[in-house]
Amino acid sequence: MTNRPVAPTGAPCWVDLWTSDVEVSRHFYSELFGWQAGEPNSDHGGYFMFTRAGTPVAGAMSGMGDTPADDTWKPFFASEDIERTLKLAAARGAAVRQPAMAIDALGHQAVIADPAGAVTGIWQSGTFPGFTVIHEHATPSFIAIDVRDYHAEIAFYRQVFGWDPLEEEVDGRHYAGYMDPDSNRPIAGIGDEVESLAPGESPQWSVFWQSDDVDASVAKLSAIGGTVIIEPADGGLGRVARVADPSGARFCLFQPKG
């Protein structure tokens, strides 16, 4: 477990679910993880937070206006100066989907599509730092993405978010892990295993939610309407299952080694 009052600059600090069925999502994630679903905020388009033991762990909302929800999870990365981060991102090939805007006194947010097309949020905290507990059951463990141009993606996150990841190459495959400076555990990763992407499909960040027992979590997920995309299997960091909620939003369940 890692408790942190604020995320390091450039690190994942929050995740949002954009869901086409709010009520189903509220019930599903509460059942799966034991979260509590807060009340939708009408001043912010019906946005609400999931909490775990009273601590915010994720946000969610439905579509807005003529823009339907696409049933995806989106990570946010911490910035000390969101306008500067946006300028850096745009200069290095990102498309600004949403310019910086204040969310009351909580902080400022922006949304970009990085050069690979992955939708990514940026958060400059005010009174709200994002999630403060990671690497524990039903909390974020890390996020990861596979892209076609690995070297360009790594360069982007180095230049824009200040990453200095640990890189490795095995059998022609590349992987970079951005390490949490407090626990020295990976909290974000970029790889180039893209066989599952359809031609022209943009890569998408995957949130790895930690589980004390991945197989038990998968069984519960199946019983409450979720879908198993890839059954639990052991990997380099631990046991992983790729799954989706009843609306099709994909994520991973992760049980670390040891």
Asked whether the predicted pLDDT for residue 183 surpasses 90, the reply is: no
Residue 71 and residue 143 in one domain = no
Residue 87 and residue 150 in one domain = no
Residue 175 and residue 83 in one domain = no
Residue 105 and residue 201 in one domain = no
Residue 167 and residue 95 in one domain = no
Residue 167 and residue 64 in one domain = no
Residue 118 and residue 7 in one domain = yes
**pLDDT tens-place string over residues 94-120:** 999 999 999 999 999 999 999 999 999
* SS3 per-residue string spanning 22-48: HHHHHHHHHHHHCCEECCCEHHHCCEE
User: Alpha-carbon Rg of the chain, whole angstroms?
Assistant: 17
Residue 139 and residue 218 in one domain = yes
**pLDDT tens-place string over residues 129-148:** 999 999 999 999 999 999 99
**CA atoms within 13 Å, Cβ hemisphere of 196:** 11
Residue 30 and residue 105 in one domain = yes
Integer distance in angstroms from the first to the last C-alpha of the chain? 13
Examine the fold and report which residue of 60, 91, 125 is the final residue of a domain before the chain moves on. Answer: 125
Residue 54 and residue 163 in one domain = no
| Mean pLDDT, range 155-182, rounded to an integer | 91
Residue 109 and residue 142 in one domain = no
Residue 155 and residue 196 in one domain = yes
Q: Residue 96 has what pLDDT?
A: 97
Examine the fold and report which residue of 125, 159, 176 is the final residue of a domain before the chain moves on. Answer: 125
**pLDDT tens-place string over residues 19-76:** 999 999 999 999 999 999 999 998 888 999 999 999 999 999 998 777 889 999 999 9
190: confidence class by pLDDT, cuts 50, 70, 90? very high
Q: Is 96 exposed, middle or buried (0-12, 13-18, 19+ CB in 10 A)?
A: middle
- Tokens for 244? 């989706």
| Mean pLDDT, range 193-217, rounded to an integer | 92
Examine the fold and report which residue of 96, 125, 154 is the final residue of a domain before the chain moves on. Answer: 125
Residue 252: give its domain's CATH number.
3.10.180.10
- Tokens for 151? 């070297």
Domain span at residue 171? 134-256
- The total domain count for the chain is 2
How far apart (Å, rounded) are the C-alpha atoms in residues 115 and 257?
33
